[in-house]
Structure 1
Amino acid sequence: MRRSLVFGLVTLLSVTGCGVGAQQAGTQASGGKVELTFLVFETPNLDAAFWDAAIARASAKVPGVTIKKLVTPNVDRTGYAKQLDASGDLPDILQSVNPAGFAQAGKFAAFTDQELSGFIAPKAGAIDGKVYQLPYNTQVIPVVYYNKDAFEKAGITETPKTYQELLDVCAKLKAKDVTPFVLGGGGADTWADMYPLTGTVATDVYSRTPDWLSQRAAGKVKFTDPDFTKAVQKVADLAAKGYIDPAGLSRSYADTEQAFRDGKGAMYPMGSWFATSADNDKPGFEVGAFPWPSDDGSPVTPTFTGGGTSVSATAENVELAKKWALAFDEDKANNDAFVKADGSIPAIKGYTPPADMGPVYKATVDIYQQGMKDNSIVNAFSQETGDGSLPPGLADKAALAVQDLITGKKTAAQFGAYLDDQWAKATQ
């Protein structure tokens, strides 16, 4: 983890979310410098010292700026940013906040083509052709991380290439009294239950109709359509067969990760950020990785590219704020640190990760690179940004509904009808 770096001309102030309204954002600091507020989030991988060091590195490259760090008090970064905006305290720079809604309302500043020239996918997450969040990072969502020891003890010699082979793997594990999938979603971490569904939507829906959500917005498809219902039914079936333990849904994200480390289940469908956690804090077994398989074995690689900084259109100095945001996201040392701490796959032209990265990270990157070669990249359901994305708040409602699906409180048809109803409410 990073240690805080202090530069003579940089002021780093760490505050909690409750103090946001205490001072006007973007005020002129002493000595003629502009003070800009920067909203970040903290996780076990990305702690306070991590952000302080990253902020210091970027600030050293942009004279005339001091940064006041604000910390989201919960995992709903976008929801918290909306609260701040409603109270007149929208931060000047925001990390990993969904720009949907903010952009259309003129709250965020668009980046120019020149400013985006260093990114591999410069139009990722575009809204009406404009980009409001730097597309600096790619994540594969999900990767199926697995316990190689548990596989070997169950007589499983190869990772599954088709969905039926995945079911066969589950049956062999369950026969050895091993829960096939570790899943969580307790408390504020409801999002952690989404990844089996994200996988099945990728293989059964997005692989055939990459712009499915855009078509949903146009009223051409619905969540109750057969292809989407089939994807949902697969998750319901996994639970019904005992391949997912419903009791695990009470676990927080951290507890879910620990459950996998403790051998409470053999497979852990999670975003690619788990890779460096597995390498840095090795469990008592070797961890492998494979992509969520499709019915016929054809490659499908659900990903998210984006997650970078956004800039408020009302920042005191928008151009300086954009310059700082670019410095933060394009800094080589910052990206190396994100890779080492959070398994990032930086989408920066010419970037190469540190050579000493561990085997789980390398296996994860191999999945992504193979997806690029196969031209099998699709969006990761519930993680989309830009024009083809869920309405604000609907991803959270979908995650709660997945819990009902797994516990048998909703059928696949009811799940789809619920999402259609929530879509109508969110867009009326």
Structure 2
Amino acid sequence: MTRKPTLLGAVALAGALVLTGCTAGGAGGSASSGDKVTLTFLTFETPNLDAKYWDAAIARASAKVPGVTIKKLVSPSADRTGYAKQLDSTGQFPDIMIGLNPAGFAEAHKLAAWSDSELATYAEPHANTYDGKVYQLPYAAQTTLVYYNKGDFTKAGIGAPPRTYAELLADNAKLKAKGINPMVVGGGGKDSWADMFPLICTVATDVYKKTPDWLSQRTAGKVKFTDRAFVTAAGKVADLAHKGYVDRAGLSRSYADTEQAFRDGKGAMYPMGSWFSASADAKKPSFDTGVFAWPTDQGAPALPGVTGGGMTVSSKASDVKLAKKWAKAFMEDHKNLDAAVKADGLIIDIKGYTPPDNMGPVYKATVAAYRQAQKADGIVNSFSQETGDGSMPPGLSDKAAAGVQKLLSGRMTAAQFGAYMDEQWDKATR
């Protein structure tokens, strides 16, 4: 999963540790006794990926690696990377982690690198490299799409999803004219990350489509957020809100409440990560849900995507070799992969894997949109979600989400947002 909520305070995080699992004992570290080893595993829980899901997956992996006992550490929010930093600062860095952003940890040599032989079964083995090394198993892809209420489109006289950005604006106008809120966007409280999806899409279409390595160029000082390309992307987002196509009153909603608002018919379109497809199929709304890629000005594909999300292993784990063996057993177990697809709509990038035949129509449409963009060389980076070389400095995505809240609410112009991002970049890289 690529969701990254705002960091909580260090004290709140330290006090909110949830520890479950197979053994008693302290929250951090690992201990070995004879031929047995206890390893800590940091994960997170969401409505899609609940405790039952994780416990079953852990049990399947542990059955394949005798002698390992797993202590499950649950992040108090979906931001397991921020939580891992807090644990690290107190000497409790977990042995195994899933969905961690390796940035900072990799450079500090806190993670064990995966060898080419260990990555042989992965379709994109060198996704997200840090100085040529891979620290996270690249087992799945996720993307950002627009999910839409087909009934609302019909009511507004819209016969097909938009193919160009001009058509997207025209469709928004038609919906608004019929008294239908065009777009559902949230991001209140700790879920400020959820307001990023319109910007993720416009940066993909207006910046990364033309300059795939734009963020690397920003690192090198060759481009800035105040440059025309980025300001244009931000301006599109601000314009959508200014025209009333994004309901500003809904910006205070949590992630869960934002999803529910779309389900309740409080908006026709829902820009969101591909994990929503699993939710839409598992608990079908009262309307048929369609899927389309946020369009570029000219209609060429520019779909934001990220590949990774798998296991990382601490270089200081009490038994790195055994920790890696368990991590791969978890990540490559077919039942675990099926469960991840069903629960979180993942697009698995492990050779030879095929999703269950009974996957629902929204998931199938999501995968089809992703594969179609792949064939057309239309997959670009996903702004604020990048990992590997050329990713954002740690903590900057949280600052971006806070700025987008102001951008959407009208308290910040696109030019001001660009200046704000440059300022935050400088602070993060000093």
After superposition, the CA RMSD in angstroms is 1.3
Is 1:76 matched with 2:79? Answer: yes
Equivalent residue of 1:268, what SS?
strand
Q: In the alignment, which residue of structure 2 is the partner of 1:134?
A: 137
Write the letter of the residue equivalent to 2:352.
G
User: Would you say the 8 A contact 2:18–2:73 is kept in 1?
Assistant: no
Q: In the alignment, which residue of structure 1 is the partner of 2:12?
A: none
Q: In the alignment, which residue of structure 1 is the partner of 2:307?
A: 305
User: Would you say the 8 A contact 1:75–1:188 is kept in 2?
Assistant: no
Q: In the alignment, which residue of structure 2 is the partner of 1:121?
A: 124
Q: Distance in 2 between matches of 1:83 and 1:41?
A: 15
Q: In the alignment, which residue of structure 1 is the partner of 2:4?
A: none
Give 1:17 shift.
1.4
After superposition, residues 15-30 of structure 1 pair within 5 angstroms as: 17=17, 22-23=26-27, 25-29=29-33
Q: In the alignment, which residue of structure 1 is the partner of 2:293?
A: 291
After superposition, residues 271-350 of structure 1 pair within 5 angstroms as: 271-350=273-352
Give 1:25 shift.
1.6
Q: Distance in 2 between matches of 1:186 and 1:404?
A: 12
Equivalent residue of 1:138, what SS?
strand
Equivalent residue of 1:22, what SS?
coil
Q: How many residues align?
A: 412
Write the letter of the residue equivalent to 2:40.
T
User: Would you say the 8 A contact 2:18–2:75 is kept in 1?
Assistant: no
User: Would you say the 8 A contact 2:28–2:40 is kept in 1?
Assistant: no
Q: In the alignment, which residue of structure 1 is the partner of 2:45?
A: 42
After superposition, residues 5-404 of structure 1 pair within 5 angstroms as: 17=17, 22-23=26-27, 25-29=29-33, 32-140=35-143, 142-404=144-406
Give 1:138 shift.
0.2
Give 1:371 shift.
1.1
User: Would you say the 8 A contact 1:204–1:231 is kept in 2?
Assistant: yes
Equivalent residue of 2:201, what SS?
helix
Equivalent residue of 1:28, what SS?
strand
Q: Distance in 2 between matches of 1:23 and 1:150?
A: 49
Write the letter of the residue equivalent to 1:226.
R
Give 1:121 shift.
0.9
Give 1:62 shift.
1.0
- TM-score normalized by structure 1? 0.95
User: Would you say the 8 A contact 1:276–1:340 is kept in 2?
Assistant: yes
Equivalent residue of 1:322, what SS?
helix
Give 1:16 shift.
6.6
User: Would you say the 8 A contact 2:18–2:74 is kept in 1?
Assistant: no
Q: Distance in 1 between matches of 2:19 and 2:304?
A: 38
1:22-71 per-position Cα deviation (integer Å, ceiling 9, x unaligned): 35522015x63100000000000000010000001111111121111000
Q: Distance in 2 between matches of 1:24 and 1:79?
A: 16
Q: Distance in 2 between matches of 1:75 and 1:331?
A: 23
User: Would you say the 8 A contact 1:206–1:212 is kept in 2?
Assistant: yes
Write the letter of the residue equivalent to 2:108.
A
Runs (5+) with no aligned partner, structure 2:
1-14
Give 1:75 shift.
2.5
1:45-102 per-position Cα deviation (integer Å, ceiling 9, x unaligned): 0000100000011111111211110000122211110000000000000111100000
Runs (5+) with no aligned partner, structure 1:
1-14
Give 1:206 shift.
0.3
Write the letter of the residue equivalent to 2:78.
V
Q: Distance in 2 between matches of 1:195 and 1:23?
A: 34
User: Would you say the 8 A contact 1:183–1:268 is kept in 2?
Assistant: yes
